[in-house]
Structure 1
Amino acid sequence: MILLSRRSLLAIAAVVDIALHARPAPVAAKVLAQRHNLPPRHLETVLQALVRVGILKGVRGPRGGYELAKERRRITAGDVVRAAMSVTGEDGLPPLPESQLVDEVVGPVVKSAGEAFLGELDGITIEDLCNRAESMTGPDAGTDGALDFAI
Structure 2
Amino acid sequence: MTLLPRAARAALLAVLDVALHARGRPVSSKELATRHALPPRRLESLLQALVHAGVLKSLRGPSGGYELAKERRRLTLADVLRVALRVEEEGDLEPKIAPLSLEAAIAPALEEIEAEIFQRLEMVTLDDLCARALVYGFGSAEKTQADFEI
TM-score class, shorter-chain normalisation, is 0.7 to 0.9
For the 8 Å contact 2:133–2:139, the answer to whether it is kept is: no
Structure 2 residue matching 1:99: 3-state secondary structure: coil
Q: Report the Cα offset of residue 65 of structure 1.
A: 0.2
For the 8 Å contact 2:134–2:141, the answer to whether it is kept is: no
Unmatched 5+ residue regions in structure 1? 138-146
After superposing on structure 2, the runs of 4+ consecutive aligned residues of structure 1 that deviate more than 3 Å are 147-151
Residue in 1 aligned with 2:96? Answer: 95
Instruction: Tell me, yes or no, if structure 1 residue 47 matches structure 2 residue 47.
Output: yes
Q: Report the Cα offset of residue 124 of structure 1.
A: 0.9
Give a deviation string over 1:77-112, Cα, whole Å, max 9, x none: 111000111212265122213337533x32111111
Residue in 2 aligned with 1:61? Answer: 61
Amino acid across the alignment from 1:32: L
Structure 2 residue matching 1:67: 3-state secondary structure: strand
Give a deviation string over 1:50-90, Cα, whole Å, max 9, x none: 00000000000111000000000000011100011121226
- Provide TM-score, normalisation by structure 1: 0.85
- Provide TM-score, normalisation by structure 2: 0.85
Q: What's the C-alpha RMSD, in Å, of the aligned pairs?
A: 1.9
For the 8 Å contact 1:20–1:150, the answer to whether it is kept is: no
Residue in 2 aligned with 1:144? Answer: none
Comparing 24-33 with 34-43, greater Cα deviation is found at 34-43
Q: Report the Cα offset of residue 135 of structure 1.
A: 1.3
Residue in 1 aligned with 2:3? Answer: 3
Unmatched 5+ residue regions in structure 2? 143-150
Percent identity between matched residues is 47
